[in-house]
Amino acid sequence: MEKQTGFTHFDEKGQAVMVDVSGKQETSRTATASGRIAVSHAVYEAIEQGTAKKGDVLGVARIAGIMAAKATSSVIPLCHPLPISTCRIEFRMLPAESAVEAQATVKVTGQTGVEMEALHAVSVALLTIYDMCKAIDKRMEIQSIHLDRKSGGKSGDFVR
């Protein structure tokens, strides 16, 4: 882990504040996050074969993830509302691990990045899979949600 140089969400008195981005230049920014949900064989088959009683699990999870990216500032207290240009949610079925991987890529042209939007999108997409399949098996486990990469902005590019 890299050493933290300072927290930007606190003022000189230690009180939480929304970071002032008014002096920052608008640039193109992209962030990609991913995570996975480990499921039982029965849940995996229901997702893959489209037989879950609540319907198209990955289709609904995709929409939930997109909606989550757009609503991040209403859930994470100090996030700025952003005019997201695009949000793409992709899923990969992992049969050997009986898991589903979700990946969210979010783009914006703005004064602050979209890392939180990508992380929020992945989290909600995976939670939606859990919600839609919990009647089959409640032992699913959401795992390893993390930022894969980001580009743009003052801090430059990041690749995990």
Spatial distance between the Cα atoms of 124 and 52, rounded to a whole number of angstroms: 18
Contact 58, 140 (CB under 8 A): no
Q: CB under 8 Å to 50, separation ≥6 — which residues? A: 56, 57
Catalytic center residues: 131
Number of residues written out for the chain: 160
Three-class secondary structure of residue 11 per DSSP? coil
Q: What is the DSSP letter of 17?
A: -
Question: Which residue type does 122 have?
Answer: V
Task: State the Rg of the chain over Cα.
Answer: 17
Spatial distance between the Cα atoms of 153 and 29, rounded to a whole number of angstroms: 7
As beta bridge partners, residue 151 has 30
